[in-house]
Amino acid sequence: MAGPEWGPGGTSWDPYADAVAAAGGEPIHLASSTRGREAEVLSDLQGILFTGGLDVHLSNFRVRVDLEGLTVDEYQETYRMEPEPQRDAYELPLLDLALQRDLPILGICRGCQLLNVGMGGGLILDIPLQTGTRLRHAAFPPPERKSSAHSLSIEPGTLLASYLDPLVVDRCNSRHHQAIPSTPAPGLRVSAISPEDRIVEAVETPERRWVIGVQWHPEHRLDPEVRRLSRPLFTGFVEACT
């Protein structure tokens, strides 16, 4: 992750680190300067959290994408994508190795989408353009960048439901324009949706030790009620890492 906001003390890093620390974990910052040393990096970790951010570049999708006669750049522009190829180049190898080692993995927003792409799935590239839903999933424009919000339906009996009571956690904050399709990557199953339009809001892997991806932002300080209700998710992640 590039930029000072993603380093310790930065406005993007701190909410995630604080949520992990509050759950009893020790957050460790991973810098892209360690690219190529994934095995060394992961040898010192008990789990890994992939954070929010911008879009995964189409060149990293293992599924075929019909470019409709456009170049990759033109296609990404059509679907309002803002790719982060440098982050992809760092995070996808980390994800591959973390999956091989069966480390606990928590993916948040972009991290949830990265999980699906890294496991061989695709994405809805722009929710409004490709689904026609009238429900707002993206954050409001700057300068406020306030989250949108909508109802949330957590599937009973899932790992996610063991941390977030489906009868209590029925709303989430929303800050994304892409989403995982209704059929996720092989090995993943859907564990939460937006019931109004059935957009996927969480996935998990039943056959692995502990892997959960959520599309909302449970760490977001400006959404204190969501942050409060989501604390058990971070607690579960930290417990899985010990």
Residues catalogued as catalytic: 109, 217, 219
Report the alpha-carbon distance of residue 162 to residue 167 in Å, rounded: 12
- Between the CA of residue 177 and those of 96, 128, 137, 163, what are the distances in Å? 25, 8, 6, 26
* Closest C-alpha among 130, 36, 101 to residue 241: 101
SS3 200: strand
Which residues 6+ apart lie within 8 Å of 37 measured at CB? none
Joined tokens for residue 9: 């003390």
Element (H, E) at 39: helix 38-42
The residue to which tokens 């579960």 are assigned: 236
DSSP state of 75: H
Tell whether omega for the bond before 184 is within 30 degrees of 0, i.e. cis. Answer: no
Whether residue 99 contacts residue 38, with contact meaning beta carbons closer than 8 Å, is answered with no
First vs last C-alpha separation in the chain? 25
Whether residue 125 contacts residue 40, with contact meaning beta carbons closer than 8 Å, is answered with no
